[in-house]
Structure 1
Amino acid sequence: MEDFRIQSVLLTGSDRGIGLGLVQEFVKLPHPPQLLFATCRHPESLEGQVLKEMAARCSNGSRLVVLQLDVTDPHSIEAAAEEVEKYLAGRGLNLLINNAGIACETTLASETAQSMAAVYATNTIGPLQVCQAFLPLLKRAARRSNCLGMSCSKAAVINMSSSYGSISAVDEWEWHQDVGYRCSKAALNMLTRCQSLGYGPCGILCVSLHPGGVKTCLGAEKGVLTVDSSARGILEVLSRLSAKDNGTFLDWRGQTVPW
């Protein structure tokens, strides 16, 4: 990733798990982003303080900005977009990573309308609304970029999905049904496809990514992959993405995940 250069990145759900791991890996890059926006619902929480401490230590020409953003609250999303635009000062946003997500351990028998709606609000509707709010900044980045083709260095949307959203694979159903979570991620994958068709002509790359079976507080996937390994793999994949990957579903190794 020596040649991976990206000016601005925004991550949702940055205060724990894979989101925090990605922030840590971004700041360790040989050429870290000039502006890295780490957003979370509660910046004043203990988890948010970790981000603020990281921001205070940032150097090497990179600036880590911690912002409040609740992906289920349109007012919070709009406020964050306005704040980000101020920091960018006329420049566009190169990379948006929709990482915020929740899960409820449910079965077909126990799933409820309330729990499914809550999961959809964060995992599917949230990424839709965040992309809508930040689209003008993504388009601006694409227009201003000197990069040929599509790439994360130019303008891209990465939706953090899951192999649990694969309709053909239906991974690990026998011991973890998680009906609402699976449905929300399958819907997120369709959203990615729609975004690739709608935003692709503007030069914006759109990809769904499965981070692997990572042991995090989310609770949906009980894997053995560490957060660090997943985050490093994801950044390696991001550094290689191009137009041929627009609208695809990949994992942290860059391998195709079946729809």
Structure 2
Amino acid sequence: MSGCNFCSVLVTGANRGIGLELVKQILGQPKPPQKLFATCRDPQGSGAQELKKLASKHPNLVVLQLESTDEASIKAAAKEAETYLAGKGLTLLINNAGIMPPSTLESVTQDDMLSVYHTNVVGPMMITKAFLPMLIEAAKKTCGKGQGCGKPTIVNFSTIGSSIGNAPHMGTFPVIAYRCSKRALNMLTQCQALEYKDKGILCVAIHPGWVKTELGTDKAALEVEESVAGILRVLSHLSEEQNGRLVDWEGKIVPW
């Protein structure tokens, strides 16, 4: 995000994988945000220890409890963040939290599909809805000026597996519920872009690459540090051209 002035940032699913690496690299920027909110399901649990250590060293990092399938949890996190922001607004919302259970056309069940949609589509939708007033507030007094970089931005993490124009073979990416949910998330991103453009908010879906994380497994070709560095470069040059589009971690437009 070098060269881009996001005054406040919120990252969901921040206790591991891409989310945790985003927190680390955002904190390491030459001009880190005044407030960086990192959310996870259980901030007191063993899975959030590294996040808690970072918070103890960085006073601008705030760890919030947020369960993306629990509307009460979402609203509570938004209320707490709003207190910290004190009317300044939120300039970057990164919907990173998601699940990717294995499922094929033969094995997938109704419950599988609904569960994945609940987390990967309904979750980001409700989170964005809860934090939208803060994004609108930031748009009124944006810290960074200009048509692209610095505008309040919503980022939804998607995948090339959601692409119809360039869809990976099912044999290489056999996660039918995940792929369908991310396809729906792409449309959500497009709808948000259309709806929020006049409010001065950009919306983009990002494919982070096939990354070596718990979800991506160690078979993936891309290290998480490289993926996140690329994502932050994309965000630092974000413009109206990418609004409502699916782009990859290198900034290339992915066919819908």
TM-score, normalised relative to structure 1: 0.95
Equivalent residue, structure 2, for 1:74: 71
Match of 2:130 among 119, 124, 133: 133
The equivalent residue for 1:49 is 49
Once the two structures are TM-superposed, the CA of residue 222 in structure 1 deviates from its matched residue by: 4.8
**Aligned residue identity for 1:243:** E
Which residue does 1:20 correspond to in 2? 20
Which residue of structure 2 lines up, in the alignment, with residue 251 of structure 1?
A: 248
The answer to whether 1:104 aligns with 2:101 is yes
Whole-Å separation in 2 of the counterparts to 1:220 and 1:75: 32
Q: C-alpha offsets along residues 127-184 of structure 1, whole Å, 9 cap, x if unaligned?
A: 1000100000000000112612233x22000000011111222214223321100000
Over the aligned positions, Cα root-mean-square deviation in angstroms equals 1.4
Structure 1 unaligned blocks of 5 or more? none
Query: Is 1:6 aligned with 2:1?
Result: no
* 158, 165, 177: which one aligns with 2:162: 165
Distance 2:148 2:234 in 1: 14
Q: List gaps (5 residues or longer) in structure 2.
A: none
- Alpha-carbon separation, structure 1, partners of 2:219 and 2:176: 16
Please list, as runs of the form range in 1=range in 2, the aligned pairs for 1:74-223 lying within 5 A after superposition. Answer: 74-145=71-142, 147-151=145-149, 153-219=150-216, 222-223=219-220
Q: Percent identity?
A: 50
Whether contact under 8 Å (1:213, 1:221) holds in the other structure is no
SS at match of 2:64: strand
For residues 58-112 of structure 1, give each alpha carbon's deviation from its aligned partner in whole angstroms, at most 9, with x where no partner exists: 2xxx600000001100000000000000000111000000000001101100000
Contact kept in structure 1, 2:210 and 2:216, CA below 8 Å = no
> Separation in 2 of the partners of 1:190 and 1:214?
23
2: CA distance, partners of 1:219 / 1:230: 12
Change (3 A) 1:154 1:38: same
Structure 1 segments (4+ residues) deviating >6 Å: none
